[in-house]
């Protein structure tokens, strides 16, 4: 049999007349397709059109399954696990869940021999355990698409895992194994120390970290006044044996809280109890704050910087344990926030401030709320005056309209922090650990109940207890902070 030449095949394959002749046949074969859409029209041949209006679904396209809203809002539950460990859980309708365990640790629980231990432990999170190698743990986390995280602060150390709800059993098992059965190998300890030293060097380039650290040192006598921003060389003196002792001390049921968002309390008990060692029941009591005393004062930090920074803070007396103080601190932060101009601003301030931001740092029985601003070194004196004026403006009185706007922003910011499962757990666990309770509805109610006099007296009382003032950068033209503050508050 004689085969056609290759040139004839190619010509036939691309001939428009041949395709045009075959298009009607293709269209007739596909005429039974749903909605009358022919194969020819899908391939770009013929003039078959879709007559379905844009406001109606295409009949041949399956409709996606519609989600149903929960009949009742998620219920927040607190209790204890079988080991006596306090727990908090909320079963959200989200397909993603986050489980976490928080320890009463951090820089405020360190000593001279364990300085920096909490940061090193956070860097060693989700490494080798007595049951798994680091390689196996990493592969198992990747297999279920989980995201591990660890955070070290002044008053707590938190480890968490975010994964789909269907993988909650694996997430609980790996979290508790990593947190309670850490092997703490020496070579991983050395790697973690090097990593933390690198992080500290990078953080030292950020004035905001150094200013906040100096502000705590000026404000408190006691554990909260201990530095978090260490000299990287100081970590070289951290002993491996001291780290293991520190770890054994903080991993106790009475100093630990477990939290979950997306997994209810009943399911948490089923999943966590078989993995926890039995121990004596631990009372759900607030964190101890012995030794922390707010004293206030000023501190100058001379450093090479193109800008001069000044931060002013007052004490939020009562801290997280006082819902009204927590609400007032959140509202005052919004009133002081220069990026959201709630209070009327003067042109003079905009000429002085290169940047300005408000902050709020809340702890069990105390806290700090204030503002940090920066300007050129030649305007250091004016910068101190402008920052103090910003704080004094709130103490003198807040118009009702501005207060209403600040309340709305404070509540919105709080809700934003609870919008994701990770954010919800990151708020619930430390709050329960430090205060023994967590009631988000109380926060909104306390914010709404604040009056202009409540906000003004909150700042005025803080100024009477001596504010904390810190300057950072070139001090060539900066006045003595103590003298400026005393003169303005006289």
Lowest mean pLDDT among 121-130, 136-145, 272-281, 452-461: 272-281
Read off the pLDDT of each residue in 323-328 and give the average, rounded to a whole number.
Answer: 94
Describe the strand order of the beta sheet including 355-362 as a list of residue ranges. Answer: 297-302, 468-473, 308-315, 367-375, 355-362
Give DSSP secondary structure letters for 128-184. Answer: -BSS--HHHHHHHHHHTT-EEEEEE-SS-EEEEEEEEGGGHHHHHHHHHHHHHSB--
Instruction: Using the 3D structure, point to which of 219, 241, 275 is the last residue of a domain.
Output: 275
pLDDT at 253 over 70: no
Tens of pLDDT, residue by residue over 384-398, are 888 888 898 899 888
Do 220 and 304 share a structural domain? no
Tens of pLDDT, residue by residue over 169-196, are 999 999 999 999 999 999 999 999 999 9
Distances (CA, A) of 402 to 411, 435, 452: 14, 31, 10
Compute the distance between CA of residue 423 and CA of residue 402 in angstroms, rounded to an integer.
Answer: 28
Compute the distance between CA of residue 194 and CA of residue 282 in angstroms, rounded to an integer.
Answer: 36
Is 455 domain-assigned? yes
Tokens of 67: 């989600």
pLDDT at 16 over 70: no
Lowest mean pLDDT among 15-29, 205-219, 446-460: 15-29
Do 199 and 298 share a structural domain? no
Do 264 and 314 share a structural domain? no
Do 378 and 435 share a structural domain? yes
**DSSP character for 91?**
-
pLDDT at 5 over 60: no
Compute the distance between CA of residue 284 and CA of residue 256 in angstroms, rounded to an integer.
Answer: 10
H or E element in which residue 78 lies: strand 76-80
Read off the pLDDT of each residue in 252-257 and give the average, rounded to a whole number.
Answer: 77
pLDDT, averaged across the chain: 83
Closest CA to 230 of 247, 208, 250, 209: 209
Is 55 domain-assigned? no
Higher pLDDT, 356 or 72: 356
pLDDT at 347 over 80: no
Distances (CA, A) of 386 to 232, 392, 401, 489: 35, 10, 23, 14
**DSSP character for 338?**
T
Distances (CA, A) of 448 to 246, 333, 406, 408: 43, 15, 10, 9
Q: Are strands 297-302 and 468-473 parallel, antiparallel or unpaired?
A: parallel
Q: State residue 483's pLDDT score.
A: 57
Q: How confident is the model at residue 61 (pLDDT cuts 50, 70, 90)?
A: confident
pLDDT at 440 over 80: yes
Strand partners, 97: 163
pLDDT at 231 over 80: yes
Higher pLDDT, 50 or 364: 364
Q: State residue 301's pLDDT score.
A: 86
Is 63 domain-assigned? no
Do 474 and 327 share a structural domain? yes
Tokens of 476: 């060539």
Is 288 domain-assigned? no
Read off the pLDDT of each residue in 279-299 and give the average, rounded to a whole number.
Answer: 64
Residue 73, C-beta contacts closer than 8 angstroms, at least 6 positions apart: none
Read off the pLDDT of each residue in 331-349 and give the average, rounded to a whole number.
Answer: 65
pLDDT at 204 over 90: no
* Angle between the N-to-C axes of helices 380-396 and 323-336, in degrees from 0 to 180, rounded to the nearest 10: 130
Q: How confident is the model at residue 82 (pLDDT cuts 50, 70, 90)?
A: confident
Choose from 26-35, 290-299, 452-461 the range with maximum mean pLDDT.
452-461
Do 414 and 318 share a structural domain? yes
Higher pLDDT, 210 or 477: 210
Place of tokens 């990026």: 339
The 3-state DSSP class for residue 484 equals helix
Q: State residue 161's pLDDT score.
A: 97
Q: Is the dihedral of CA 396, 402, 403, 408 positive or negative?
A: negative
Closest CA to 156 of 222, 226, 103: 103
Higher pLDDT, 21 or 316: 316
Q: How confident is the model at residue 12 (pLDDT cuts 50, 70, 90)?
A: very low
pLDDT at 107 over 80: yes
Q: State residue 49's pLDDT score.
A: 75
Instruction: Using the 3D structure, point to which of 226, 243, 275 is the last residue of a domain.
Output: 275
Note whether 262 and 233 are within 8 A (CB): no
Tokens of 189: 């300890």
Q: State residue 18's pLDDT score.
A: 41
Tokens of 385: 């005056």
SS3 content of the chain, % helix, strand, coil (to 5): 50, 15, 35
Global pTM? 0.79
Is 45 domain-assigned? no
Compute the distance between CA of residue 174 and CA of residue 149 in angstroms, rounded to an integer.
Answer: 12
Do 320 and 188 share a structural domain? no
Instruction: Using the 3D structure, point to which of 220, 246, 275 is the last residue of a domain.
Output: 275
Please give the distance of CA 386 from its chain centroid, rounded to a whole number.
30
Residue 392: count other Cβ atoms within 10 Å of its Cβ: 15
Lowest mean pLDDT among 16-30, 138-152, 362-376, 394-408: 16-30
Is 70 domain-assigned? no
Percent of the chain topping pLDDT 70:
80
pLDDT at 47 over 60: no
Is 37 domain-assigned? no
Do 462 and 386 share a structural domain? yes
Q: State residue 43's pLDDT score.
A: 53
Domain range holding 124?
Answer: 76-275
Angle at 167 between CA 179 and CA 423, to 5 degrees: 65
The 3-state DSSP class for residue 411 equals helix
Lowest mean pLDDT among 260-274, 396-410, 471-485: 471-485
Place of tokens 């491996």: 240
Closest CA to 355 of 309, 417, 390: 309
**DSSP character for 354?**
S
The total domain count for the chain is 2
pLDDT at 281 over 70: no
Do 383 and 313 share a structural domain? yes
Higher pLDDT, 179 or 353: 179
Distances (CA, A) of 64 to 53, 67, 165, 201: 19, 9, 21, 51
Q: Read off the CATH number of the domain in which 161 is found.
A: 3.30.830.10
Q: State residue 102's pLDDT score.
A: 94
What residue spans of 311-420 are helical by DSSP H?
323-336, 347-352, 380-396, 400-417
Do 222 and 154 share a structural domain? yes
Is 69 domain-assigned? no
Q: How confident is the model at residue 350 (pLDDT cuts 50, 70, 90)?
A: low
Q: Is the dihedral of CA 197, 201, 298, 331 positive or negative?
A: negative
Compute the distance between CA of residue 239 and CA of residue 262 in angstroms, rounded to an integer.
Answer: 39
Q: State residue 163's pLDDT score.
A: 96
Do 190 and 111 share a structural domain? yes
Read off the pLDDT of each residue in 120-147 and give the average, rounded to a whole number.
Answer: 96
Q: How confident is the model at residue 475 (pLDDT cuts 50, 70, 90)?
A: low
Q: State residue 320's pLDDT score.
A: 92
pLDDT at 84 over 80: yes
Do 442 and 337 share a structural domain? yes
């Amino acid at each position: 049999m004689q085969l056609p030449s290759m040139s004839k095949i190619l010509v036939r394959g691309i001939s428009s007349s041949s395709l045009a002749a075959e298009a009607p046949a293709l269209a007739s074969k596909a005429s039974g397709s749903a909605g009358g859409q022919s194969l020819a029209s899908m391939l770009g041949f013929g003039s078959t059109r879709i007559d379905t209006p844009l406001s109606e679904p295409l009949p041949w396209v399956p409709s996606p399954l519609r989600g149903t809203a929960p009949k009742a809002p998620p219920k927040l539950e607190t209790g204890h696990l079988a080991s006596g460990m306090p727990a908090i859980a909320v079963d959200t309708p989200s397909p993603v869940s986050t489980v976490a365990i928080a320890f009463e640790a951090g820089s405020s629980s360190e000593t001279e021999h364990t300085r920096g231990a909490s940061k090193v432990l956070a860097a060693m999170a989700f490494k080798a355990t007595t049951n798994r190698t680091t390689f196996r743990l990493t592969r198992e986390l990747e297999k279920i698409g989980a995201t591990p995280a660890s955070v070290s602060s002044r008053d707590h150390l938190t480890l968490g895992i975010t994964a789909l709800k269907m993988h909650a059993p694996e997430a609980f098992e790996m979290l508790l194994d990593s947190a309670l059965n850490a092997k703490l190998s020496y070579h991983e300890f050395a790697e973690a120390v090097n990593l933390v030293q690198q992080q500290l060097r990078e953080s030292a380039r950020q004035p905001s970290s150094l200013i906040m650290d100096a502000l705590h040192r000026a404000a408190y006598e006691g554990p909260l006044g201990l530095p978090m921003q260490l000299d990287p060389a100081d970590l070289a003196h951290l002993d491996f044996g001291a780290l293991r002792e520190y770890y054994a001390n903080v991993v106790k049921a009475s100093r630990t809280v477990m939290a979950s968002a997306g997994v209810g309390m009943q399911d948490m008990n089923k999943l966590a109890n078989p993995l926890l060692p039995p121990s004596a029941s631990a009372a759900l009591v607030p964190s101890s704050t012995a030794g922390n005393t707010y004293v206030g004062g000023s501190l100058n930090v001379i450093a090479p910087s193109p800008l001069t920074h000044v931060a002013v803070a007052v004490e939020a007396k009562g801290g997280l344990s006082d819902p009204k103080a927590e609400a007032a601190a959140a509202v005052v932060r919004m009133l002081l926030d220069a990026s959201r101009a709630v209070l009327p601003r003067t042109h003079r301030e905009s000429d002085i401030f290169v940047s300005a931001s408000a902050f709020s740092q809340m702890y069990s029985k105390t806290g700090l709320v204030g503002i940090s601003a920066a300007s050129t070194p030649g305007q250091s004196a004016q910068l101190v005056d402008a920052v103090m004026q910003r704080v004094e403006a709130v103490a003198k009185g807040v118009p009702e309209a501005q207060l209403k706007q600040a309340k709305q922003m404070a509540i919105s910011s709080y809700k934003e922090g609870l919008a994701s499962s990770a954010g919800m757990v990151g708020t619930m666990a430390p709050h329960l650990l430090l205060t023994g309770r967590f009631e988000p509805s109380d926060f909104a109610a306390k914010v709404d109940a604040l009056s202009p006099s409540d906000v003004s007296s909150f700042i005025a009382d803080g100024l009477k207890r001596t504010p904390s003032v810190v300057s950072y950068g070139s001090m060539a033209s900066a006045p003595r902070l103590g003298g400026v503050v005393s003169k303005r508050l006289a």
